[in-house]
Structure 1
Amino acid sequence: MPKLKKSDKLKKELNLFDVYAIATGAMFSSGFFLLPGIAAAETGPSVFLAYLVSGLLILPTMFSVAELSTALPRAGGTYYIIDRSLGPLMGSIGGFGSWLALVLKSAFALIGMGAYIALFYDINITVVAIGLTIAFGMLNIVGAKETTTLQKVLVAALITIMFGYLVEGIGYLLSMDILGITEEQFTPFFTKGASGFFATVGMVFVSYAGLTKVASIAEEVKDPDRNIPLGMFLSVLSAITVYVLGVYLMVAVLEPEAFRQDLTPVATAGEVFMDWLPGDVGLILIVIAAIAAFASTGNAGIMSASRYPMAMARDSLFEPRFAKLGRFNTPQNSILATVGLMIFFLLAFNVASVAKLASAFQLLLFALLNLGVIVMRESKIEEYDPGFNAPWYPWLQIAGMVLSFVLIFEMGILSILFTVAVSAFSVGWYYYYAHSEIDRQGAIFHIHARLGEKQDSGLEHEMRGILREKGLREEDPYEEVVARSMVIDDLEPNTTYREIIRMASSRLAVRVNLDQSEMFDSFCNINQSGLIPMGRGVALNHLRVEKDISSEMVLVRMKEGITMDTDHFEQLSQSAEDPSQKVRAFIFLISSEKHSSSHLRILAHLAEMIDNKHFMDRWLAAEDEGALREIMLRDERFINLTVTTDDMTAKMIGKKIKDIELPGKSLVAILKRDNDIIIPHGNTEIHENDELSIIGDSEDIDEVRRLKRGGN
């Protein structure tokens, strides 16, 4: 399994609004500014309802992508997710198909942008589209933040104008005879019956397809557990609102036959109820919104599409040069390849026709993504730890798969043949180029393992790396665990590793009320199975038990160190290549099986901390037990206070813990009195010279420091 170097990782620069802007920008273009009239020809006035149904039908895939993206936040989202869940063969299909479909959609969007510009200027639309492709490509090379800055401006302009458009249109309708308009414009409601309506649902469904493309930039999103699902939800809510209300207005104000032949229905409807604006201002605003929509789709499309060859190159499915980052820390070669492919399609094909063929392939990808959730959950990989869990599992995913295949057959034989051709090319490429170089199998082999077959252990290691990058969650009791940890220091030089395990087991057994000998045997057995991480002179010994206990920790320092064979350890540091290593720090963590996910995140955070090249220097230089604990804590969320009569802590003397007032949600995690460690409770009384270890949010800890200094 390829290990991603820090130099090849994309920066986490994208926030919630960036995610919203990319997802929203990837949806609005032809689906709103071109398609409504064409769709109305298939079903009549019920076309606005078709948009609503399509928006609801995208939800299973949206929820599945949100779960998978928070568990696997890597560039090339759809490809990466399918590869890691279903294996590299299916990953190749997902990668090439996603790249091709998004390239075609982006090129089509820029053709549409050129067409709207042509309303005011006599230009060659293809030449304009090529120029825009190059411009957006250069912007993408300069940086993701710069790209999303433009994206936010475009989406903000689009949503603002569309909001005004909807308000004006609804106001116009309310000033008229609603019942009369409904009877005249919406009858008959279904012009071609149920079959025509559902065919239209399939036609407009692809208007929402861009929503899932946000997964391809998941690696660059800050706090992906929150920002990806929330950004996608806000985006689809905006899209459904604008699509449904906007198309409803078009049906209500336009003459039916004219509407069904209109390729610019948004502008035509706007002329009806925005005629109070002077001159062509109303039309100009709508054209600006259309251009912003097409531009945002093209811009977001290039950004998202370029992550697919990059991700495939990382995994040896594509040329390695496409995985490299340029001087601006962006996948320069991958962006150039994406731009080049777009220009080729613009010059060689009728992009509008080919882009429509790619819609069936997008539906196939939706089916695979829903299947991916089922495979990842049923694989029982402990490191699979999504920040968002799709509801109603597995029925929602099954519904998403069935729906995708039903809609594929609604797309027609040419779209199906296009999907088969791209899939066949991808399979051929995999066996020709990559099959002999790849040894991973995907999470689906973990399901095979439950049936007695082999599994892909490299995937677990890769996902542990993802856990390290994502960090802790608010609910993880890391600070409490470290603050009350037990410390063993000043060991004799000839102390053996087994003796260290025995000492740690004896202390933990008392704390969690378990049998010491059984715990000792369990620690030894886990060590022999090769599941103990080691790196930079530290070994992380961890154990989970069936009993419902709070997580506990023992920190062991041995300054002289023990030279240990690394064969039975998982190496944390990329530079750790020696068959032996001198270990000076041993960390023992025990948790309940009921809190397995939290245990893994704490373990991953510990691994991230000790992999710092300065960790061991700080560890060896620590003066006492308190200093050793502080090294393991995030400084901004922890403080040690000694209660004395000389400062503001004097008012705590004689009070019970529950009666003292600490800022925010900060709390006393541990109390040290006369060299004895006390786990405090609400009724624990504070004495003079007690040492309090207080943990909390960074702002709360800053306030505690100010109180310690006298409130200044």
Structure 2
Amino acid sequence: MKHKKLAKELGLSDVYAIATGAMFSSGFFLLPGLAAAETGPSVVLAYLVSGIIVLPTMFSVAELATALPRSGGTYYIIDRSLGPMLGTIGGFGSWLALVLKSAFALIGMGAYIAIFYDVNILFVAVFLTIVFGILNIVGAKETTWLQKILVAALVTIMFFYIVQGVFEIFSMDIRVITENQFKPFFTDGVFGFFATVGMVFVSYAGLTKVASIAEEVKNPDRNIPLGMFLAIGTAVIVYVVGVYIMVALLEPNAFREDLTPVATAGEVFLDWLPEPGGLILVVVAAVAAFASTGNAGIMSASRYPMAMARDKLINKNFANIGKLGTPHWSVVGTVALMLFFLLAFNVAEVAKLASAFQLLLFGLLNLAVIVMRESRIQEYDPGFKSPWYPWVQIAGIILSIILIFEMGVLSILFTVAVTVASIIWYKYYAQDKVERQGAIFHVHARLGENKDQGLENEMRGILREKGLRQEDPYEELVSRADVLDFSPETDYDTIFNKAAESLAEKLNITIEELRKLFMNSADNSAIQIAEGVALNHARLKEDISPELVLVRIREGYSKRKLKKDAESDQKLHSIIFFVSSEANTGQHLRILAHIAEMVGSKNFVERWCKAQNEEELREILLRDERFIKITLNPDDSTQQYIGKMIKEISFPGQSLITIIRRGGDIKIPHGITVLQEGDELSIIGEVEDIDELKKMLKE
């Protein structure tokens, strides 16, 4: 069985584990001594500056990944924003860079294991590549379960390491340490320092790889940015404080030649542990770091060919989802490429060459935010918006360009070679297979060129999948909606006028203003959104609360009464009128998408026509998990509410009584409304609040 989409199984802890695990390996356990050889004690500042410099790209990726939560991360984002040719470059380049980084991490893992055991490092790396590949085929949840264990072990040991190191430094004379270990602060001037910043910057590059598994993340609007912020915070603390400890405690010349500085520094202040306890702790942390980078790398890298295959840029088989719910051919292809590099090249040298390409991708990601924002695509609805737009993105682009030129000629040539090869592949294999053009065409449209309508449709589908946000007042909107019943003989003007009367009263505008708003634009004419259901929506310039009117025609209403040129005379049983504010475009589109999802559910028309009253009609459009209806009965737990005013009742969380049905009449609840025996209460709230209320009523 093939699945079109990957299951959403990953939560905040999974995002944090993947982002954190992708950052820790050679950047901390190997690089500090080599970086110190370039700039001296200022290597501590270089790690801090690098952590700050990565923030623009982190903000950009967090915005883009919440707006476009699809597998393929960097590839998918660049493709949809800048077009498929640049997307091909981003896809192949990201895949290659991450494969090399992951292979290099497993070489490093083998090297640390070799401290205690006489093993062949290459054999260990090959074996682990196959093991992690099999685990990634088994399932994303199983992969991230291991990832969380590895990251938990790494972070726990590293914070223990840092605390012990800081205590050691405070037990010494800080003035003497500063005099002996931190002077001169810059050993090779400003240029040497910035060259070092470019060198250690790639230590944070793994942070953005979490975007490649965005499709599998539950509640991406919250979990992706929060997971990334927590990961970068962890990384900056461990890198900066950890490297400070190394500089403070190790002899400068020896430190600058040390390939295992974490272990060497640990031997200085962990000597109170039973021999060789300190070394074992450091080796365990290093192994966990390299393993988490390798494991997360395979998982993230495999999503690039899958996403590219979906878009016909490479063979379609890479898009197949196997019986275990994972892209098995993409994982196999990724593992095969890793094994090829491990067996055929010096991975450490080739991996360094990919650094400049990573910086090129960072620049393109910052540009992508500018393009998406300036495209003015209404469906572009990120759950997180980058602060200080566009200055943050401009800074990210400029910094990426500066750092690329610090990476050396060979790295730049490698980037050019991958770019040229990707363009050739696109021109001769993929160009005739794709029709999309990216959001940049929407920027062109503002200058008189064409739009990529397919992208709008695709992003509309993403909105529907993401669902409503916590702040969207959907339940309240449905609960207070007026419900109108009409016979099939009624003309549309009568239906519209009745709906407009209801809306005009609530919105404090005239019926004619509403008619003009609804009818003058082709986009705002009534359109069929599901079998038997049409929707008429509009937006006001004023800042208003959204309002709905629900119309039912039990026997069915001819589509040609709405639109004379309708292709068929299919019967409509529901016409929904929806008005909201232009100030909340994203919310308007999310509510539209959710209405479309609800009316498109199985047996909607049948249930709609059979509903006995207004309240039942509203309930059909409400989300079951955020809605409950109770009848007050003196013989069960609801008797506690009888005879009380609503303001005297305390429901869990922010749960609200929206409608009271009493003896066949509908009552709008107020704080002083006294509840009576037999009242039917419709209550809405957050999922956890409704669950708690259900438990209370069962007691």
TM-score category (smaller protein): over 0.9
Q: Counterpart amino acid of 1:561?
A: G
Shift of 1:506: 3.1
Preserved CA contact (<8 Å) 1:497 1:562? no
Shift of 1:15: 0.9
Shift of 1:562: 3.3
Shift of 1:648: 7.3
The residue aligned with 2:685 is 696
Taking the aligned partners of 1:231 and 1:705, their CA distance within structure 2 comes to: 32
> Which of residues 18, 21, 26 is equivalent to 2:14?
18
Preserved CA contact (<8 Å) 2:6 2:326? yes
Cα distance change on mapping 1:499 and 1:433 into 2, 3 Å: farther
2:622 paired with 1:627: no
Taking the aligned partners of 1:600 and 1:417, their CA distance within structure 2 comes to: 45
Cα distance change on mapping 1:632 and 1:31 into 2, 3 Å: same
Preserved CA contact (<8 Å) 1:522 1:543? yes
2:596 paired with 1:599: no
Q: TM-score, normalised by structure 2?
A: 0.94
2:617 paired with 1:608: no
Preserved CA contact (<8 Å) 2:69 2:220? yes
- CA deviation string 1:354-381 (max 9, x = no partner): 1111000000110111111111111111
Preserved CA contact (<8 Å) 2:483 2:549? yes
2:540 paired with 1:548: no
What are the within-5 Å matches in structure 2 for residues 11-90 of structure 1?
Answer: 11-90=7-86
Q: Counterpart amino acid of 1:538?
A: V
Question: Where does structure 2 lack aligned partners over 5 or more consecutive residues?
Answer: none
What are the within-5 Å matches in structure 2 for residues 210-229 of structure 1?
Answer: 210-229=206-225
Shift of 1:459: 1.3
Cα distance change on mapping 1:522 and 1:206 into 2, 3 Å: same
Shift of 1:630: 0.7
The residue aligned with 1:493 is 488
Preserved CA contact (<8 Å) 1:526 1:532? no
Greater alpha carbon shift after TM alignment, 140-149 vs 593-602: 593-602
Preserved CA contact (<8 Å) 2:533 2:573? yes
Taking the aligned partners of 2:603 and 2:295, their CA distance within structure 1 comes to: 42
Preserved CA contact (<8 Å) 1:26 1:301? yes
- CA deviation string 1:648-677 (max 9, x = no partner): 777867866545444431223245567665
2:656 paired with 1:667: yes
Preserved CA contact (<8 Å) 1:536 1:613? no
Shift of 1:339: 0.6
Greater alpha carbon shift after TM alignment, 658-667 vs 42-51: 658-667
The residue aligned with 1:575 is none
Question: Where does structure 1 lack aligned partners over 5 or more consecutive residues?
Answer: 572-577
Q: Counterpart amino acid of 2:283?
A: V
Q: Counterpart amino acid of 1:95?
A: G
What are the within-5 Å matches in structure 2 for residues 158-237 of structure 1?
Answer: 158-237=154-233
Shift of 1:443: 1.2
Taking the aligned partners of 1:706 and 1:218, their CA distance within structure 2 comes to: 34
The residue aligned with 2:555 is 560
Taking the aligned partners of 2:664 and 2:495, their CA distance within structure 1 comes to: 22
The residue aligned with 2:507 is 512
Greater alpha carbon shift after TM alignment, 28-37 vs 661-670: 661-670
Greater alpha carbon shift after TM alignment, 477-486 vs 492-501: 492-501
The residue aligned with 1:403 is 399
What secondary structure sits across from 2:3 in the alignment?
helix
Shift of 1:174: 1.7
Preserved CA contact (<8 Å) 2:630 2:682? yes
The residue aligned with 2:107 is 111
Q: Counterpart amino acid of 1:667?
A: L
What secondary structure sits across from 1:8 in the alignment?
coil
What are the within-5 Å matches in structure 2 for residues 399-438 of structure 1?
Answer: 399-438=395-434
Shift of 1:279: 2.1
Cα distance change on mapping 1:116 and 1:648 into 2, 3 Å: closer
Cα distance change on mapping 1:239 and 1:661 into 2, 3 Å: closer
> Which of residues 584, 588, 604 is equivalent to 2:573?
584
Greater alpha carbon shift after TM alignment, 449-458 vs 516-525: 516-525
Shift of 1:265: 0.8
What secondary structure sits across from 1:586 in the alignment?
strand
Shift of 1:457: 1.6
Shift of 1:224: 0.9
Shift of 1:216: 0.3
Cα distance change on mapping 1:510 and 1:239 into 2, 3 Å: same
Preserved CA contact (<8 Å) 1:670 1:677? yes
What secondary structure sits across from 1:410 in the alignment?
coil
> Which of residues 527, 536, 559 is equivalent to 1:532?
527
Shift of 1:200: 0.5
Q: TM-score, normalised by structure 1?
A: 0.93
Q: Counterpart amino acid of 2:189?
A: G
Cα distance change on mapping 1:299 and 1:654 into 2, 3 Å: closer
Q: Identity of aligned pairs, percent?
A: 67
Taking the aligned partners of 1:144 and 1:651, their CA distance within structure 2 comes to: 47
What secondary structure sits across from 2:388 in the alignment?
coil
Shift of 1:420: 1.0
Taking the aligned partners of 1:180 and 1:263, their CA distance within structure 2 comes to: 26
Cα distance change on mapping 1:496 and 1:328 into 2, 3 Å: farther
Preserved CA contact (<8 Å) 1:533 1:607? no
Taking the aligned partners of 2:83 and 2:563, their CA distance within structure 1 comes to: 28
Taking the aligned partners of 2:506 and 2:674, their CA distance within structure 1 comes to: 21
- CA deviation string 1:532-567 (max 9, x = no partner): 351232222221112332211112222332353799
Preserved CA contact (<8 Å) 2:488 2:558? no
Taking the aligned partners of 1:164 and 1:645, their CA distance within structure 2 comes to: 59
Shift of 1:583: 2.5
Taking the aligned partners of 2:688 and 2:325, their CA distance within structure 1 comes to: 32
Shift of 1:11: 0.7
The residue aligned with 1:298 is 294
Shift of 1:55: 0.7
